Structure 1
């Protein structure tokens, strides 16, 4: 349920500068001699989009050009969004960061070594869940919550890869468990919770789940991957995205400007928002073991950022996305493209906007 305090989407949205720098020509140069049909990028400084641009086409060998409002899949950048949602449900008192999976999934047969695993561990890749899921339940004909329930039941029934809290393995399955736990305690689908509790309050109107385009149309960007070294467009249905079972780990799409709004939200730029600065700081704090991964964020340092940065990238193997946040500069940059082979181009775009927009 959307709480009434999450009001006035217009008051919480990151605003557009009067004349943001158009970097489209620069992005077009990056696409030359690349395996990327199209891309978009944007930079946020002190709550305003100060630079943005697009380049290329929505689908290989088709004429429709990428537009600023086009929807791009953001892959594992979804992970911090699910963790943000968790912080809201925790504030409601329905679950806690230290709530154990055995306290949530009481009707499941859970392996003894998983029983003490917590929500925070699942949302920080430290819950014992393996990177490669064994014989996962990918029944795409079932609803998202049903798919997740089946997957979580399978994962928790066998011995974890390591003792929860004593290691870190990047895992979509852990975030699927976290999302399913939020569904369990609220009685609502993760997709509905994301729309109502996170996207709507932020004024994010372009967000959805799965492949953004429609079969037989070039109404949005298509994903592309390499087949025997040749770039091939992938029809949105049925194989244009990850199954909904791992939605909380990586099935969100949105426009690059809405992606920038989300980044601005985590910088604490919003006058009013669904999370306080204290809650944001908690989400950004590294979770043991180690000091380089928080709840859906990689934590590191960069000179251009004046110290600490938060970053994450994501890909469903057909799109690629990256985001960098520099809290000390009140700056963020996001870049997206419609090729699973687009890491280099997106990193180049981020570097380009950092060079043009970060205060010296």
Structure 2
């Protein structure tokens, strides 16, 4: 869930009289590698409007049910920037500070001495001392806990992480970590007085009218009502049956378990461009989220920050996978443009398909002058 440096968008976001988005479905079809990528969706947004959307392929390999732009796709670690956004909202409310430590939030927990001063900002920027890979026995226990409530699962995982010594002194390195964002999510639950899912639905999804947004795998068991995740088996896409094995454990939801339609993915990108109607965060908070956190050279709060000519300077991006799906988002804040894409397989083929879709949208709607 950590391939961050890969290279969607166009439904009307504001105003009922704006032009309908361009349909790029036929253009996307050429990136699916003759069905090796079962489905691909993408969209682009410019100046507050979704200007292009497209969907091609099928929900499940071996089934003819076609995907639509309204179908829900898993976006993996793109969730991390959402957790950062939620943190910024609670900071703006005065419920927590970026400098708040895990010791302050969990005073009764027996936290390892070297972890006590890890802060919310560090945990939301991969500088909090949390290991990049979960210890195998801890991950196994987390998977086995999937029948418990999500908050209980997360509490057990957070306790196990924080009672162990950090992988490095907090604030001294940048190490990509699902565990760090999981701890941050638990901190937000504690001060927000709601579960993580309730908080993000209330504070982010509802204000942005992201009605399709939810959590975990998308399809219903024994139905082809939404896209299935796939893996490559003997060179062919193999659908993973709906159920517990179709996604990571709910404990790590703050790090990467959101699903949504490509249209709602575009709405979220538009929000971070700073041009959404009635945004749940002010411009100064968005700027903070997009600012690199030392000692990292390119990671902010759930965003990779790089320089790209097509973006006119600074570009923001992130990608995500649960090993069965892949998604990516690229934003050019100075151009008020963003492109997002998602597919229902994670492999070199899937990530390349998403990158190709985004590159196509950038070329067609931003750099070509069309």
| TM-score class normalised by the smaller sequence | over 0.9
**Following the alignment from structure 2 to structure 1, what is the Cα–Cα distance between the partners of residues 351 and 33?**
15
Does residue 349 of structure 2 align to residue 348 of structure 1? no
Q: Where does the alignment leave 5 or more consecutive residues of structure 2 unmatched? A: 1-11
Aligned equivalent of 2:121: 120
Residue number among 144, 149, 152 corresponding to 2:158 in the alignment? 152
Deviation at 1:22, TM superposition (A): 1.1
Aligned equivalent of 1:216: 222
Q: Where does the alignment leave 5 or more consecutive residues of structure 1 unmatched? A: 1-11
Deviation at 1:35, TM superposition (A): 2.5
RMSD of aligned residue pairs (Cα, Å): 1.4
Aligned equivalent of 1:252: 258
Does residue 80 of structure 2 align to residue 79 of structure 1? yes
Aligned equivalent of 1:6: none
Deviation at 1:108, TM superposition (A): 1.1
Does residue 307 of structure 2 align to residue 301 of structure 1? yes
Deviation at 1:34, TM superposition (A): 5.6
Q: Deviations over 1:289-342 (max 9, x none)?
A: 033000000000111111100000000000100000001111000000000121
CA contact (8 A) 2:35 2:57 kept: no
How many residues are matched?
349
Residue number among 297, 318, 323 corresponding to 1:291 in the alignment? 297
Does residue 168 of structure 2 align to residue 169 of structure 1? no
3-state secondary structure, aligned to 2:342: strand
**Following the alignment from structure 2 to structure 1, what is the Cα–Cα distance between the partners of residues 128 and 164?**
13
Aligned equivalent of 1:103: 104
3-state secondary structure, aligned to 2:68: coil
**Following the alignment from structure 1 to structure 2, what is the Cα–Cα distance between the partners of residues 133 and 70?**
31
Aligned equivalent of 1:21: 22
Does residue 324 of structure 2 align to residue 318 of structure 1? yes
**Following the alignment from structure 1 to structure 2, what is the Cα–Cα distance between the partners of residues 195 and 95?**
19
- When normalised by structure 1's length, the TM-score is 0.94
Q: Deviations over 1:157-186 (max 9, x none)?
A: 111110100001110000000000011112
**Following the alignment from structure 2 to structure 1, what is the Cα–Cα distance between the partners of residues 229 and 295?**
35
Cα distance, 1:25–1:15 mapped onto 2, change above 3 Å: farther
CA contact (8 A) 2:214 2:258 kept: yes
Cα distance, 1:72–1:14 mapped onto 2, change above 3 Å: farther
**Following the alignment from structure 2 to structure 1, what is the Cα–Cα distance between the partners of residues 69 and 98?**
37
Q: Deviations over 1:40-63 (max 9, x none)?
A: 000000000111100000000101
CA contact (8 A) 2:222 2:242 kept: no
CA contact (8 A) 2:218 2:226 kept: yes
**Following the alignment from structure 1 to structure 2, what is the Cα–Cα distance between the partners of residues 120 and 281?**
14
CA contact (8 A) 2:129 2:169 kept: yes
CA contact (8 A) 2:38 2:237 kept: no
3-state secondary structure, aligned to 2:301: coil
Aligned equivalent of 2:248: 242
**Following the alignment from structure 1 to structure 2, what is the Cα–Cα distance between the partners of residues 271 and 225?**
39
Aligned equivalent of 1:38: 39
Residue number among 195, 198, 204 corresponding to 1:198 in the alignment? 204
